[in-house]
């Protein structure tokens, strides 16, 4: 892409789970309170809403202006929820049933 704006959704191949554009388009707000390390973090994927600085929340992933080697899921920074910047966003998620796929 041109590194001047976020890429349109679906610009890149899906990952092995079939999900598109997981890293590097916009920083994603997550529910976790800000923590300086992962000691005591939940291991089940749930939000980390205890301890740490809960007046700040985490941004993850890296944005379109970031160097190509930088964006990754473990890249994170804590900011106050009112922080705004053109390369911040969020991902809408939902629970998917565990029913077997139909033929």
Residue range 41-93, pLDDT digits in tens? 999 989 999 999 999 999 888 788 776 666 777 788 899 988 888 888 877 77
CB-CB neighbours of 80 under 10 Å: 10
Q: How confident is the model at residue 35 (pLDDT cuts 50, 70, 90)?
A: very high
Residue 40: is its pLDDT beyond 80?
yes
Q: How confident is the model at residue 103 (pLDDT cuts 50, 70, 90)?
A: low
Residue 19: is its pLDDT beyond 80?
no
pTM score of the predicted model: 0.71
pLDDT at position 52: 93
Nearest to 33 by CA among 86, 79, 73: 79
DSSP string, the chain: --SSSPPPTT-S---TTS----SSSSEEEEEEEE-SS-TT--SSS----SSSEEEEEEEES--TTS-TT---TT-EEEE-TT---TTEE---------PPPP-
pLDDT at position 98: 66
Give CA torsion, residues 74, 79, 83, 87, to 10 deg.
Answer: -20
pLDDT at position 100: 60
Distance set, CA 46 to CA 8, 34, 86, 89 (Å): 28, 14, 27, 20
Q: How confident is the model at residue 10 (pLDDT cuts 50, 70, 90)?
A: confident
């Amino acid at each position: 892409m041109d590194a001047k704006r976020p890429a349109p959704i679906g610009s890149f191949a899906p990952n092995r789970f079939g999900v598109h554009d997981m890293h590097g388009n916009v920083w994603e707000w997550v529910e976790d309170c800000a923590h300086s390390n992962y000691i005591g973090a939940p291991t089940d994927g749930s939000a980390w809403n205890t301890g740490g600085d809960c007046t700040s929340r985490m941004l993850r992933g890296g944005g379109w202006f970031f160097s190509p080697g930088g964006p990754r899921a473990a890249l994170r920074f804590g900011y106050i929820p009112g922080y705004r910047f053109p390369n911040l966003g969020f991902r809408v998620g939902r629970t998917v049933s565990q029913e077997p796929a139909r033929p």
